[in-house]
Amino acid sequence: MKARVHVTLKSGVLDPQGKAIGHALEALGFSGIGEVRQGKVIDLEIDETDADSARIQVEAMCQKLLANTVIENYDIELNP
């Protein structure tokens, strides 16, 4: 099974990267750009066919390693 995890900064947390990207896009002449936020996407293959137990596993990975829930949110998509 394939899993895609998005790790993004919580909404109140400053995102200097996103801010810089927004400025750079404006400087390049793109207009009407609102908030820009940058996060991580992690694609992984796991040897598991059952969606429920896959989700439990990936959830544990997020909690333990992939995200720091102090400042980040994560969400999980499974692609069997």
Partner 1 sequence: MKTAVVVFPGSNCDRDVKVALEQSAGPGVQMVWHKETSLPDGLDLIVLPGGFSYGDYLRSGAVAAHSPIMREVKARAEAGTAVLGICNGFQILTEAGLLPGIMLRNRDLRFLCKDVCLKVETSQSLFTARYESGETIRVPIAHHDGAYFVDEEGRRSLEDNSQIAFRYCDEQGHVTPESNPNGSISNIAGVFNESKTVLGMMPHPERLSDVALGGTDGRGLFDSLVETLS
Partner 2 sequence: MNKNANPDTAVEITPAIAAEHGLTTEEYALVQDIMGRTPNLVELGIFSVMWSEHCSYKSSKKWLKTLPTTGPHVIQGPGENAGVVDIGDGLAAVFKMESHNHPSFIEPYQGAATGVGGILRDVFTMGARPVANLNALRFGAPDHPKTRHLVSGVVAGIGGYGNCVGVPTVGGEVNFHPAYNGNILVNAMTVGIARADRIFYSAAAGVGNPVVYVGSKTGRDGIHGATMASAEFGEDSEEKRPTVQVGDPFTEKLLIEACLELMETDAIEAIQDMGAAGLTSSSFEMASKGGTGVELDLDRVPVREEGMTAYEIMLSESQERMLMVLRPGSEETARQIFEKWDLDFAIIGELTDTGRMVLRMRGETVADLPIDPLAKASPEYERPWSLAEAPAEIAPEDAPATDDVMASLAGLIASPDLASRRWVWEQYDHMVMADTVQRPGGDAAVVRVHGTGRGLAMTADCTPRYCLADPKRGGAQAVAESWRNLTAVGAKPLAITDNMNFGNPERPEIMGQFVGCTEGMREACLALDYPVVSGNVSLYNETNGQAIAPTPAIGGVGVIDDISKMATMALKRPEEFLVLVGDTHGHLGASLYLREVHGREDGAPPPVDLAAERRNGDFVRAMIAAGEISSCHDISDGGLLVALAEMAMAGGLGAEIEIPESWKAAPHAWLFGEDQGRYLLSVPDPESVAAAGKAADVPIHRLGVTGGDTLNVAGIGTISVAALASAHDAWFPDLMAAERGGPET
Give the count of residues interacting with partner 1 (CB under 8 A): 17
Tell which residue, 66, 19, 24, 61, has the closest CA to residue 38: 19
**To the nearest whole angstrom, how small is the minimum distance from the Cβ of residue 20 to its own copies?**
10
How many angstroms separate the Cα of 43 from the Cα of each of 48, 75, 76?
Answer: 15, 12, 10
Select from 47, 49, 52, 65 the one that contacts partner 1 (CB under 8 A).
Answer: 65
Tell which residue, 42, 52, 32, has the closest CA to residue 8: 42
Q: Choose the stretch contacting partner 1; rule: CB under 8 A; options: 46-54, 55-63, 64-72.
A: 64-72
Chain residues in the site for partner 1 (CB under 8 A): 12-14, 16-17, 20-21, 24, 27-28, 38, 64-66, 68, 70-71
